[in-house]
Structure 1
Amino acid sequence: MCGITGIFDTQSARAIDPRQLQRMNESQHHRGPDEGSVHIEPGVGFGHRRLSIIDVATGQQPLFNEDGTVVVVFNGEIYNFQSLIPELQALGHVFHTRSDTEVIVHAWEAWGPDCVKRFRGMFAFALWDRNQQTFFMARDRLAVKPMHYALLDDGTLLFGSELKSLLAHGGMKREIDPLAVEEYFAFGYVAEPRCIFKQARKLEPGHSLCIRRGQPIPAPQRYWDVRFTLDRQISVEDACDELRAKLEESVRLRMISEVPLGAFLSGGVDSSAVVATMAGLSEEPVNTCSIAFDDPAFNESEFAQLVADRYRTHHSVETVVSDDFDLIDTLARLYDEPYADSSAIPTYRVCQLARKHVTVALSGDGGDESFGGYRRYRMHLMEERMRGALPAALRRPVFGLLGRVYPKADWAPRVFRAKTTFEGMARTSVQAYCHSVSILREPMRAELFSAQFKASLGGYTAQDVFDRHAANADTEDPLALIQYLDMKTYLVGDINTKVDRASMAHSLEVREPLMDHELIEWLARLPSDLKVRGQEGKFLLKKAMEPKLPDAVLYRPKMGFAVPLARWFRGPLKQRVREAVLGPRLAATGWFNPAYLQHLVDAHQAGTRDYSAPLWTLLMFEAFLRNVVDGGQAQLQPLESAVAHA
């Protein structure tokens, strides 16, 4: 696990400024505190910060092929590298290390851009082939590892694991993209491939970019996608047997390490399944860690302890006080972009705890998307049955009216909170799902933004993100469609971003066995009723784990990794949220409607509405402006200029 960065002159071979490259590299010191190196040749500069995991003695980067004509910098793990080495040796390649990094340069020589199809793992890498005058970079299939890049006006391409490394170069324009702001306030993150700054991009999951110096720069190319064929006819018993075998294989591959290894154990189904599988593969007790909360409404530690006791793990628990809100500015600096998932706070803390004991930790991330675990999946399927029973010509006007006039009753029992359902029923399936996962839904964003800012969007809405992915989903199955959408949006932009930044802030490598692409491809062939059956999500995973985990863990209400935002904003953070949301920094942008900002704060603090999620989103945006934009001496693009370039 590492941080990578670099500079590539796409047009000629101008000299690289070593000071710029060194600045870019050192901005990611936290990702790799063990070693730091750079390589410079005409028109190319690569930087690498190393966290030593595999081949500690000889796995330094940048790493070269036999004659030094191919150089790579790599972040991640290629789990099947040991099986690829003999195949590449048979083709005549000579290995000088025992690292998975060296497999990449030889695989490039053997198979060119198709080399990525042979890799099983989490990765982001960039390489330069001097003989072919070709620059190539790629990102893993589920975008577990990050890759940012920017093409400057003079033809220079910058890349890096984190956006801060591009900013450290000094040549990238810091114009904020209004379309990215729209996406952020809808989803709580800026969706791939967009970045908050106009000139920067994120390489999308399962994509690569191949540039030949002096030639036109092509668009990134997709090399992998998941296809929900749902065509595998199999009994529940056989499916459970196969799942246990595939999970065991995925976990075993991710237990390869030369440094201390353990697992997160939240007490949920996913992390518990990973720990149970690890215990069956390890002769020594597994190292596990959990975060407990002093607020019982958010505390799952007793369920984690059940699993820890059953498998006699070396279990570490630390209690986080429920008023752990001092991380707001730290998180803003850490994520580089506005990022509004408040579970980043406990995630940061559990990574901090884990690093005291291990260097590598396995997690249960990705299980909800792959196995159908979210409550919103069951709600969406219920709405789909209702949508299918009524013609659109009747459904849209009737439910559209009900959605507009029905009050938003946050205080009422859930059965009476029908506004969102009515609004969803008036929409198409994809529109309804986008609406349901949005933090500030489209009608709220229409009130939030100023008239000038809405003009700068030129008609663009965050819905376009979902529509683009839905066009590629190649399935009409209601559950498969929204699983696909989540794998392209929420899993990548929220979950993987959260875990990568929080873990690397503590120089901790996190591996996700439930995101193994071969496991996901196998699950995508199974019928949807093996994932959600009636009101039971993760049906197959739970059935498969019944011999290994207690029912108290498998069949309890999903709690999630949450923090008490609503109470914070009426209590200890009452003044802070008022100053941030109504203060001069947001006002200076000209992007927001002051009257609506006032309404959000007043209504929440009076207790008449629960606006905790929108307020947190605004709080983190204000923290981003202060810590990243102002802290980096960046200037907000004037609104008139933003309109001209939209």
Structure 2
Amino acid sequence: MCGISGLFDTRGRRDFDGALMHRINDSLHHRGPDEGSIHLQPGLAFGHRRLSIIDIATGQQPLFNADHSVGIVFNGEIYNYQQLTDELTALGYRFQTKSDTEVIVHAWSAWGEDCVHKLRGMFAFVIWDQARDQLFMARDRLGVKPMFYALLDDGTLVFGSELKALLAHPAMKRDIVPQAVEEYFALGYVAEPRTIFRQALKLPPAHTLVIKRGDQRLGQPRRYWDVSFTTDNKIDEVQAQEELTRRLREAVKLRLISEVPLGAFLSGGVDSSAVVAMMAGETNGPVKTCSMSFDDPQYNESEFAQMVADRYQTDHHVEMVQSDDFDLIDTLARLYDEPYADSSAIPTYRVCQLARKHVTVALSGDGGDESFGGYRRYKLHMMEERMRASLPLGLRKPLFGTLGRLYPKADWAPRVFRAKTTFQALARNSVEAYFHTMSVIRDNERLPLYSARFKSELGGYNARELFLDHAERANTDDPLALIQYIDLQTYLVGDINTKVDRASMAHSLEVREPLMDHPLVEWLATLPSHLKLRGGEGKYLFKKTLEPHLPADVLYRPKMGFAVPLARWFRGPLRQRVRGALLGGPLADSGMFDLKTVGAMVEQHENGSRDHSTPLWTLLMYDAFLRNVMGASSMREAA
């Protein structure tokens, strides 16, 4: 696990400045504090920061083959590297190290671009091939590990594990993309392949990119894998439970290879508890587990984590997070490099901080909700789908559209009376309705937020186009499978994986996700949806499979999530900060927002008539991005 970076002259073979490459590489020091090195040759520079996990003695990077014709910088773990070592040795390749990095180098020599099909794990890497005079860039199937790149005006390609590596280059422009801002305010993150900056891109998950010297423009990334929701598996329920148990154990066992202390996150939810249960069956000593407790009982799951820790006699570590733990706002803005609005980044940062005190590698339960059908929104969407199926869109749109406009937004009322969002969803088709559900600020609130000038810059773009594009490729008529596919392409990558990668690497902690093992994900996609969501119970098969392994109170309690009390913060300790940031700082000076609308949201939230906590947090984090990444200060302060 590490941070990678590099420069490539697409026009010739200029010598790159070693001091500049060191600055770029050092911007990722937190990702790999154990070692750091760069490689320079005419037209190419590679940088690497190492967090030593496997083959500590000889696994240094950048790594080259024997004749230095192929070199690599690599971030991640290849869990089947030992099997691939045997396969490549049989083909005549000789290994100088015991690292998974060298496996990729020889896999490239043996299979070329198809080498990615052989790799099982999380990865982002760049290979230099001297004979072909080209770079080959690849990212893992589910986007666990990040990859950013930009083509600068002078023909230099700069790449890195985080945007800050690109921003360390003085020629990297910081022009903001209006469409990326729209995606951020709709979803809480900037979706692949965009970044917030016009010049920079993210390599999408399950894609590769070839960059040849002499090409005037970068080519298009090529998709090498996709999950297919066939839902046509005829397996019976008992057999499915047995097969799922086998696959879970295998996915966990593969991720236990390490030469440094290893443990797991244990939130008390089903997913992390399942991982710990499987780990306990594969390790000799007690599993090291880490949990956060919260002083607000509304958000505290620690008693359920303790149940699992007691059952498996883990070496359990718990720390309390205060409910007013909001001092990380600026830290998070600098950490993520572009706007990011998931407030659970705060407790995620804290649990990674705790885990690093005890382990260098931690297994997590991320990815389970998407593949097993665990989100509460899935159940609500399927209820809406039944209503949509009973009336054609031509009738639903005017009927429920009118109700959605007229019905008051009753944030204060019991849930049964909060029907405005449901009416709005019923007036849409399935994909647009799911986008409406997933929006952190919905269209009817988001568009008035923008200034007239910014709306003009958007040119009519709406972030729902992302969902429509993914839905076209989903190739399924199953309504649950469709939204699972959309989540795997959007929310899992842009929100969950981004959050965990930045929070963990900020503390030099490697996180491994067995529930994102791609053979497991592929198999789960073949199962019929009634094995995932049944009778209003999400993760049906998963929970039935885990009944012999976990307490019923863990399996069948209401889902809590990793939340923070935003509404109370903004009416209490953060009240003045919100007013100052949103009504008088760089955000107000940007000209992108309608300040009357922003002011009304602040007033309504403070007086309790509306709960605008999520939109206000989204605005607050955008202001933090402007100040901490863009270097913006208030024009009033500058004057």
TM-score interval for Structure 1 and Structure 2 normalised by the shorter chain: over 0.9
- Give CA-to-partner distance per residue, 1:72-115, whole Å, 9 cap, x none: 00000000000001111111111000000000110000000110
268-277 or 203-212: bigger deviation: 203-212
* Conserved 8 A contact 2:78-2:122: yes
List structure 1 runs of 4+ shifted beyond 3 angstroms.
Answer: none
3-state SS of the aligned residue for 2:629? helix
**Offset from partner CA, 1:461-485 (integer Å, 9 cap, x none):** 1011111111111111100000000
1:14-50: CA deviations, max 9, x gaps?
Answer: 1111121111100000000000000111111000000
Aligned to 2:592: 591
Match of 2:91 in 1: 91
Instruction: Provide the residue aligned with 2:456 in structure 1.
Output: 455
Determine if the alignment matches structure 1 residue 38 to structure 2 residue 48: no
2:325 is equivalent to residue 324 of structure 1: yes
Q: Provide the TM-score with structure 2 as the length reference.
A: 0.98
CA contact (8 A) 1:174 1:634 kept: no
Tell me which residue corresponds to 2:439: 438
For residues 125-524 of structure 1, what are the structure 2 equivalents within 5 Å? 125-216=125-216, 217-524=218-525
1:81 is matched with 81
Q: Distance in 1 between matches of 2:121 and 2:59?
A: 17
Shift of 1:634: 14
Query: What does the per-residue CA deviation read over 1:373-424, in whole Å, with 9 as the maximum and x for residues that have no partner?
Result: 0000000000001000001111111111111111110001101111011000
Question: 1:268-297 CA deviation, whole Å, 9 max, x = no partner?
Answer: 000000000000001110000000000000
Q: Deviations over 1:610-645 (max 9, x none)?
A: 1000000000000000000017x999xxxxxxxxxx
User: Which runs of 5 or more structure 2 residues have no equivalent in the other structure?
Assistant: none
Shift of 1:446: 1.2
**Contact 1:20–1:169 (Cα < 8 Å) also in 2:** yes
CA distance in structure 1 between the aligned counterparts of 2:131 and 2:590, rounded to whole angstroms = 49
Which of 265-274 and 581-590 deviates more? 581-590
For 1:566 and 1:9, how far apart are their aligned partners in 2?
50
Cα distance in 2 for partners of 1:478, 1:104 equals 38
Q: Distance in 2 between matches of 1:540 and 1:37?
A: 47
In structure 1, the residue matched to 2:614 is: 613
Match of 1:132, SS state, is coil
Q: Is the contact made by 2:585 and 2:634 (CA closer than 8 Å) also made in structure 1?
A: no
Show the 5 A alignment for 1:537-556: 537-556=538-557
Q: Secondary structure at the match of 2:75?
A: strand
**Matched-pair identity in %:** 70
Partner of 2:25: 25
Q: Is the 8 A contact 1:308 1:315 kept in 2?
A: yes
Q: What's the counterpart of residue 59 of structure 1?
A: 59
Task: For 2:303 and 2:83, locate their aligned partners in 1 and report how far apart those are by CA, in whole Å.
Answer: 41
Which string of whole-angstrom CA distances, capped at 9 and with x for unpartnered residues, describes residues 510-536 of structure 1?
000000000000000000010011210
Query: Which residue type is aligned with residue 72 of structure 2?
Result: V
Q: Partner of 1:638 in structure 2?
A: none
Q: How much does 1:212 deviate?
A: 1.9
Secondary structure in 1 aligned to 2:425? helix
Amino acid at match of 1:42: P
Q: What is the CA distance between 1:66 and its match in structure 2?
A: 1.4
User: What displacement does 1:3 show?
Assistant: 0.2
Deviations 1:317-358 (A, max 9, x none): 000110000000000000000100000000000000000000
SS in 2 for 1:629: coil
Q: TM-score, normalised by structure 1?
A: 0.97
Take 1:87 and 1:17, find their aligned partners in 2: how far apart are those partners? 40
Name the stretch that deviates more: 611-620 or 581-590.
581-590
| Cα distance in 1 between the residues matched to 2:32 and 2:517 | 24
> What secondary structure sits across from 1:227 in the alignment?
coil
Q: Which amino acid aligns with 2:410?
A: A
CA contact (8 A) 1:150 1:158 kept: yes
In 2, the alpha carbon distance for the partners of 1:270 and 1:158 equals 37
Secondary structure of 1:56's aligned partner: coil
Amino acid at match of 1:421: T
Q: Distance in 2 between matches of 1:588 and 1:152?
A: 28
Contact in 1 for aligned 2:2/2:51 (Cα 8 Å): yes
Shift of 1:245: 0.3
Which residue identity does 1:400 align to in structure 2? G
Matching residue's letter, 1:168: A
Tell me the distance in 2 between the aligned counterparts of 1:506 and 1:586: 30
- 1:110 equivalenced with 2:110 (yes/no): yes
Paired letter, 1:101: T
Cα distance per residue 1:529-561 (max 9 Å; x no partner) = 100112100001100000000000000000000
Q: Which amino acid aligns with 1:107?
A: A
Shift of 1:584: 2.8
What SS does structure 2 have at the residue aligned with 1:630? coil
Q: Secondary structure at the match of 1:16?
A: coil
Residue-by-residue CA offset, 1:212-255 (whole Å, 9 max, x unaligned): 21135310000000000011011111101000100000000000
2:448–2:594: 8 Å Cα contact kept in structure 1? yes
1:639 paired residue number: none
Distance (whole Å) between structure 1 residues aligned to residue 11 and residue 92 of structure 2: 33
**SS of match in other structure, 1:383:** helix
Which position in structure 1 is the counterpart of 2:625? 624
Question: Which whole-Å CA distance do the structure 2 matches of 1:133 and 1:420 have between them?
Answer: 54
Cα distance in 2 for residues equivalent to 1:209 and 1:283: 42
Cα shift at 1:459? 1.0
CA distance in 2 between partners of 1:295 and 1:545 (Å): 29
Structure 1 residues 450, 634: CA separation in 2 closer, same or farther (over 3 Å shift)? closer
Task: Find out whether 1:48 has 2:87 as its counterpart.
Answer: no
Distance 1:98 1:173 in 2: 40
Q: Could you list the runs of 5+ residues in structure 1 that have no partner in the other structure? A: 636-646
Answer whether contact 1:5 1:24 (CA < 8 A) is retained.
Answer: yes
Q: Secondary structure at the match of 2:441?
A: coil
CA drift of 1:487 comes to: 0.4
Alignment: residue pair count: 634
| TM-superposition CA deviations, 1:435-473 (whole Å, max 9, x none) | 011011111111100011000001111011111111111
SS state of the match for residue 557, structure 1?
coil
- RMSD of aligned alpha carbons: 1.1
Once residues 561 and 414 of structure 1 are traced to their aligned partners in structure 2, the CA distance between those partners, rounded to angstroms, is 20
Contact map agreement 1:69 1:129 (CA 8 A) in 2? yes
Give distance in 1, aligned partners of 2:548 and 2:341: 38
Residues of 1 paired with 2:528 and 2:451: CA distance? 46
Q: Paired residue for 1:640?
A: none
**2:582 is aligned with 1:581:** yes
* 2:11 paired residue number: 11
SS in structure 2 opposite 1:47?
Answer: strand
